[in-house]
Amino acid sequence: MTRHYNFCAGPAALPAAVLERARSELLDYQGRGLSVMEMSHRSDEFVAIAERAETDLRTLLNIPSNYKVLFLQGGASMQFAMLPMNLLGGGGSANFIQTGIWGKKALSEAKHLGYRCHLAASSEASGNTAVPALDALAISNDAAYLHYTSNETIGGLKFDYTPVVKRDDGSDVPLVCDMSSNILSGPINVSDFGVIYAGAQKNIGPAGLTLVIVRDDLLGKTVPGAPSLFDYQLLAEAGSMVNTPPTYAWYLAGLVFQWLQNDMGGLSAMDALNQRKADKLYAAIDASAFYSNPIARANRSRMNVPFVLADAALDNVFLQEADEAGLLNLKGHRSVGGMRASLYNAVPEEAVDALIAFMADFEQRRG
């Protein structure tokens, strides 16, 4: 069996150690004679798996006790709808910082549902190559929350600061962050946020699971008529089991949390490794006249590194040769073209080294 290097933006590489552990427990979970996939979500075994995953996540991210952790379905995109439904019940508007496609989708979904929205800042006019400065954010006085995307997966743009803001009267505006593509890539200060959410299929586990971390005081503000399955408070009260949760994805996420803590040394170690991986690849791109990346240095994503070739006519040859060399899924998002290497936690440093060597060789032969 050969496992190639997978640079997919999502569903993304999973740690081999996690997949091996899952394989070893696939048919018979710890002597119980059945698979985790075949267990009742209400069974003692599964409840223990679920609780362990939450406890481990709380340890990894140092989540304070006044936050609830929800293990949901529907993807990060469903949160685009659930957020205004849960946070605008007391009135006010949803404020947005838009730095790319995902932030834009979050705003258009809230608008589509008829909620009052306000664009506090956007980097669209400048091609989303740098994030707006903190003092450029124009928050509305009726802001119920401020939404932003800490890492834009398609553009490869990350915030280099946390946009903690206040209304004119000095009161805090709850900060809501789509961390789908950079959660668990390093430590964060959860207390800066009202809500953190992330689709699992990058740094957490397989697709089908969505994490929501929500501060207690934001619960109970749901708009009238919201479906029960969309209501954070009901979901929190039911331990994310209002209905059948995505049990196997939850279990695998738990294995990833154990891997991060026990095998990788926790999030500070992960942070250093991720920085090293990204620094190497950007250095190789910057040192070459053949490859380029347009993002302002301070905002370059460590997780998703888009780059273009000097001659776009070579894109398909590049992708084909890379694939043959065991470097998979380097094609950029269909909306932007070019290449994109996603360097999530489960992508080892050797994969980045192999990619850099391949890029240098390709440039020499074809550039």
Give the binding site for ligand PMP (CB under 6 A).
Answer: 10, 75-77, 102, 149, 153, 178, 180-181, 199
Q: With 0-12 CB in 10 A as exposed, 13-18 as middle and 19+ as buried, what is 128?
A: buried
Those residues with Cβ within 8 angstroms of residue 93's Cβ, 6 or more apart along the chain or in another chain:
115, 116, 117, 118, 140, 142, 143, 144
- CA quadruple 215, 218, 219, 223: dihedral positive or negative? negative
Residue sitting closest to ligand PMP (CB): 75
Write the DSSP string, 130-185.
SPPPGGG----TTEEEEEEESEETTTTEE-SS----B-TTSPBPPEEEE-TTTTTS
Nearest to ligand PMP of 15, 205 (CB atom): 205
Nearest to ligand PMP of 154, 270 (CB atom): 154
Rounded to a whole number of angstroms, the minimum distance from the CB of residue 149 to ligand PMP is 5
Rounded to a whole number of angstroms, the minimum distance from the CB of residue 333 to ligand PMP is 9
Nearest to ligand PMP of 140, 247 (CB atom): 247
The helix (run of H) or strand (run of E) holding residue 23 is helix 16-25
Rounded to a whole number of angstroms, the minimum distance from the CB of residue 227 to ligand PMP is 18
In the annotation, is 104 catalytic?
no
Give the active site residue among 68, 178, 250, 331: 178
Give the active site residue among 202, 221, 277, 331: 202
Nearest to ligand PMP of 95, 140 (CB atom): 95
Nearest to ligand PMP of 5, 102 (CB atom): 102
Rounded to a whole number of angstroms, the minimum distance from the CB of residue 290 to ligand PMP is 28
In the annotation, is 250 catalytic?
no
Q: In the block, which residue shows the tokens 């190559």? A: 129
The backbone torsions φ and ψ at residue 300, rounded to the nearest 5 degrees and listed phi first, read -70, 130
In the annotation, is 102 catalytic?
yes
State the Cα angle at 20 between 14 and 25, rounded to 5°.
120
The helix (run of H) or strand (run of E) holding residue 107 is helix 101-112
Rounded to a whole number of angstroms, the minimum distance from the CB of residue 97 to ligand PMP is 13
The helix/strand/coil state of 349 is: helix
CA–CA distance from 285 to each of 226, 238, 352 (Å)?
A: 48, 49, 12
Residues labelled catalytic: 102, 178, 202
